[in-house]
Amino acid sequence: MKRSERKISSRANNISNADPIDKVQIYGAGTAGSFLYVLLKQSGFKVGIKDIRREPDCKCAWGIMYREANKIYKKIGIDLQDYVLAKPEYVITNKIEFKNKNVVIFDKKKLLEDVWKEIEFKEIEADILVDSTGHRRALLPAIKEDKIYPTIQTIEEHRAEENIYVYACKTGYAWAFPLGNNRWHVGAGDIDETKATELIKKLREEFEFRKDHEICKCKGKIRLLPPSKCKPFVSKNIVGIGEAIGCVSGLGEGNVPSLRSAEILCECLVNDELDKFESMIMDEFRWIEVEHKFIEAIQEGKRLTTLLLLPKVVAIESKRSAKLSIRGMRRLIKLLK
């Protein structure tokens, strides 16, 4: 959605806590937007939502942190277990094995299709507009030094053990996620498509994923900036959530952070505390700031900073995703080119 295509509400330009917010218009019905829609409806708000797609797509985002996500989705009556396709035993990166603890591969498209059945897509005259348009950030002011990575993705058929396979370099990585029944989501993201294509080639060589039995193929984009570099979160009567305000981990996982950002916005609206939204986002996602600093240090060759941040990242991801070790991560860092 282009900014020129969006007509702003006739409400005053600045949101004030003195003015009660009863009507909310959401743009973007992905993970964060659709979840926020249901939360707000349950809380008694009048809500409109619009998406440029006719149906949810299957780009990226097949992996999710199960414990956190299941707890959040239960608030709108969804049991995440109903959508789990696989729980890989290991995350294998550049042939270094890490024991998986909490990552599941889920059918995001089917989950969103089910949520969309409960949604009445429409535009309303609203007190605030919510920018949930992901990397497009269609309503909020543009980010001056944005970092948008292209991705290339396919769904393929392979016979392989159902682990998560990753081939990483300093600027990006390629992945293969099991979808069950010998189906795999294979893709890569890097600073340009040429590098992403090369990463997929390296992944195939490393893990013997031959290029055949391709079911479908698509391209996408992802913003890889932390929230501190995606301000403002609130501009006039527009509020951002999800990837639009940098709610993606340094390692590329954005499902749970996006859901959590929507939950925080709902909490602020219910309590008439929208002025606290930015500080609550920054407090919630301090760990994302750490991970992005870690990745930047690796990319810029800052060895001392990398080693200083490494124990923090290991602690964060050992709790969230896989059983990492400082020794294993040091080995991995040495392999990155």
pLDDT tens-digit profile of 147-178? 999 999 999 999 999 999 999 999 999 999 99
Predicted local distance difference test score (pLDDT) of residue 57:
76
Per-residue pLDDT, 30: 94
For residue 58, what pLDDT is reported? Answer: 72
The C-alpha atoms of residue 148 and residue 175 are separated, in whole angstroms, by 18
Domain segments of the chain: what residues?
1-62+107-145+225-284, 87-106+148-223, 288-337
- 6 has a pLDDT exceeding 60: no
- Is pLDDT at 183 greater than 50 in this prediction? yes
Architecture of domain 1-62+107-145+225-284: 3-Layer(bba) Sandwich (3.50)
Length of the chain: 337
Say what the pLDDT of residue 61 is: 65
pLDDT at res. 210: 87
Indicate yes or no: pTM above 0.95: no
Backbone angles phi, psi at 269, to 5 degrees: -70, -40
The stretches of 74-146 forming alpha helices (DSSP H) are 108-116
Model pLDDT, residue 252? 84
- DSSP label of 8: P
- The pLDDT of residue 217 is 86
Of residues 39 and 58, more confidence is placed in 39
Residue 11 has pLDDT above 50, yes or no: no
Q: Ramachandran region of residue 201, left (φ > 0), alpha (ψ -120 to 50) or beta?
A: alpha
Burial (CB count <10 Å: 0-12, 13-18, 19+), residue 120? exposed
What is the pLDDT, as a whole number, of residue 214? 82
Share of the chain above pLDDT 90, in %: 86
Query: What is residue 55's predicted lDDT score, i.e. its pLDDT?
Result: 83
CB-based burial label for 331 (10 Å; 0-12, 13-18, 19+): middle
Q: How large is the average pLDDT for residues 113-120?
A: 94
Instruction: Report whether pLDDT(7) > 90.
Output: no
Average pLDDT, the chain: 92
pLDDT at 13 exceeding the cut of 70: no
Confidence of residue 215 (pLDDT cuts 50, 70, 90): confident
Q: Does position 3 have pLDDT exceeding 80, yes or no? A: no
87-106+148-223 in CATH: which number? 3.30.9.10
Q: Work out whether strand 238-240 and strand 128-131 pair parallel, antiparallel, or are unpaired.
A: parallel
**What does the DSSP 8-state code read for residue 111?**
H
Q: Residue 92 contacts by C-beta under 8 Å, 6 or more apart in sequence?
A: 98, 163, 164, 165, 166, 207
